[in-house]
Amino acid sequence: MIDFDTLKYENGLIISIVQDQTSKEVLMCAYMNREALEKTVETGIAHFWSRSRQKLWKKGETSGHLQKVKEIRIDCDMDSVLLLVEQVGGACHMGYRSCFYRNLEGEVVGEKVFEPEDVY
């Protein structure tokens, strides 16, 4: 197992990319601190560090749209992690399966799977 102390955190955070384990669709990008990474490994559910709230949060704690972590990979520079997950519901707080639901022109190209006002 990779020692978490050898990862390259910036200001205590490491970028984490979340990808559907089956479809390989990129679902979201967030930050983890060491505690979030440890909690994710311990529980099998994705945890992140909320920069806006300045606190640890379990993905889906409000919506119920959990990310069940199947595998964690570390990139070659050891400065980012990839979570391969089973996504329950949508990953995006705007109601889409993926946070990457718009193209550069602003056109919605992703699948909306829930209405945010029904969940939050």
Please give the pLDDT value at position 1.
81
pLDDT of residue 120: 86
Both tokens of residue 43? 């529980």
The alpha helices in the chain, defined as continuous H runs, are 34-43, 116-119
pLDDT at 11: 96
Domain count, the chain: 1
Q: What CATH code is carried by the domain that includes residue 21?
A: 3.10.20.810
Distance, CA of 1 to CA of 22 (rounded, Å): 24
- And the tokens for 79? 């400065």
Domain holding 99, by residue range, is 4-119
* Tokens matching residue 85: 């997950």
Q: What is the pTM of this model?
A: 0.94
Spell out the residues 6+ positions from residue 61 whose beta carbon is closer than 8 angstroms to its own: none
pLDDT at res. 119 = 87
pLDDT mean by block of 10 residues, the chain; 120 residues? 93 98 98 97 98 95 96 98 97 97 98 93
Helices (H) and strands (E) in the chain, counts: 2, 6
pLDDT of residue 71: 98
